[in-house]
Amino acid sequence: MDTISIKPVPLSGEINVPSSKSMGHREIICAALAEGTSVVDNISISADIEATCRALQALGVKITPAPSLYPGRAAFKIEGGELQALSNEIDCGESGSTLRFMIPLAALCSKQVVFKGSGKLVSRPLNAYYDIFDRQGIEYETADEGKLPLKICGRLSAGRFELPGNVSSQFVSGLLFALPLLDDDSVITISSPLESKSYVALTLSCLAKYGIEIKNDEYKAFYIRGGQKYHSRNSIVEADYSQAAFWLVAGAIGNKIDCKGLLANSLQGDKAIIDIISAMGGKINYNEEKMIITSSPANTIGTIIDASDCPDIIPVLSVLASVSEGRTEIINAGRLRLKECDRLRAVTTELNKLGADVTELEEGLVIQGKKYLTGGEVEGWNDHRIAMSLAIASLKCRDRVVMHGAECVNKSYPQFWHDFVALGGQISYMEKD
């Protein structure tokens, strides 16, 4: 375990925002399901992306490195087509996206496949799929309480699927990837308002890019024609608003930061970071021609933040709220308890160690802002977004922040500490625990 000491100094400068992990998963999967060869470029390598590649290779997809047009990024040549289980074991690491996207795809192979994972992923809920398996007679076996490892044996059938709207959107996306490949038509109905619908929008946009047609009835029902084929193509993964969020908050509470490469018309739900920072009094400017979003220091104020469609940016927004004038209430955030850690508990615990005033509620947080935090010793909770958020919190601390478990950023943003230092951050590594 890496322990680092962070000296409180403002960040400033220019950053090339990593490519979207959410879109990286989706682009690689669609390319893998396409007949022929595709090249997916501008990939920011992370443990989660590696897990998806590993899973697809276990299902017979050939993925090899290719020259990238983007410095510091990766490209993959992907030779896809009909899936076949070359290995009966798929290790998803700690990637919830990999696990939930791959289960329906593995169920196309009619062979026994065992899904394994580590960390919090072992216990993250999969009941939505278990219910489908029970209805369709697909054999499956789990560890106690539905935990991994999960063994499945049987073929997914077309038909009608009903999911509650408060289930993870990853279940909806997983089915949307698989169902077009079945011979017959299918319908997915959502029995209550769909949360995190922006992630489903990303899936639909990627499917359309690769030639798959889905009829979307206002996110209440999805009509999927069977017998479709994915079309191979070359594609570029767009930049990630969820990763940009850390630097945009850093600009609001430190010095000016330019974030490069973000699309103005992106469907990413975490694009809400722009509107939320602006609503809190932040200074955000977008140069569409140069694709640069600039965040400048401002006296920010509290507000009400609805987390239902942008859960991943709530930890860093909690940091901004902690150093903004007045009261901030974060609502509809219960699903944060089911991420890599219980993020509501983690945010409350760790920010309060730094002198913040955060109150944990069942479905959200109440934060009373302060001008400065104190500093102190914190834990990363083996959660990349918690660790990166605490790093940004250090900018407004009077004393150093000592963080245990700093290496957990590797899950989504291995270059985070490098970029933190490039923007003027001062860190020193202490001992290996």
In sequence order, which residues have a C-beta less than 8 Å from that of residue 128 and are 6 or more positions away?
A: 163, 164, 167, 168, 171
The structural architecture, per CATH, of the domain 2-17+240-432 is Alpha-beta prism (3.65)
Cis? peptide before 67, omega within 30° of 0: no
Q: What's the pLDDT score for residue 431?
A: 65
**Tens-binned pLDDT, residue by residue, of the chain (433 aa):** 899 999 999 999 999 999 999 999 999 999 999 999 999 999 999 999 999 999 999 999 999 999 999 999 999 999 999 999 998 999 999 999 999 999 999 999 989 999 999 999 999 999 999 999 999 999 999 999 999 999 999 999 999 999 999 989 999 999 999 999 999 999 999 999 998 899 999 999 999 999 999 999 999 999 999 999 999 999 999 999 999 999 999 999 999 999 999 999 999 999 999 999 999 999 999 998 899 999 999 999 999 999 999 999 999 999 999 999 999 999 999 999 999 999 999 999 999 999 999 999 999 999 999 999 999 999 999 999 999 999 999 999 999 999 999 999 999 999 999 999 999 999 999 866 5
- Specify burial of residue 120 (Cβ count, 10 A radius: 0-12, 13-18, 19+): middle
By DSSP bridging, strand 257-260 and strand 34-43 are unpaired
Structural tokens at position 350: 């760790």
Q: Going along 109-248, which residue ranges are E strands?
A: 113-116, 139-142, 150-153, 160-163, 186-190, 214-217, 221-224, 230-231, 234-236
Instruction: Find out whether 80 and 31 touch, Cβ atoms under 8 Å.
Output: yes
Query: Any idea which residues carry the catalytic annotation?
Result: 312
Query: Rounded CA gap, 338 and 335, in Å?
Result: 5
Instruction: Find out whether 45 and 70 touch, Cβ atoms under 8 Å.
Output: no
Output the CA torsion sign for 250, 252, 253, 255. Answer: positive
Fold equal for 2-17+240-432 and 21-224: yes
Query: Rounded CA gap, 410 and 37, in Å?
Result: 29
- Specify burial of residue 69 (Cβ count, 10 A radius: 0-12, 13-18, 19+): exposed
* Region of residue 125 (phi > 0: left; psi between -120 and 50: alpha; otherwise: beta): beta
CA dihedral 196, 200, 202, 208 (to 10 degrees): -170
CATH topology assigned to domain 21-224: UDP-n-acetylglucosamine1-carboxyvinyl-transferase; Chain (3.65.10)
Q: What's the pLDDT score for residue 432?
A: 60
Q: What's the pLDDT score for residue 195?
A: 86
Residue boundaries of the structural domains of the chain:
2-17+240-432, 21-224
- Phi and psi of 427, rounded to 5°? -130, 155
Radius of gyration of the chain (CA): 21
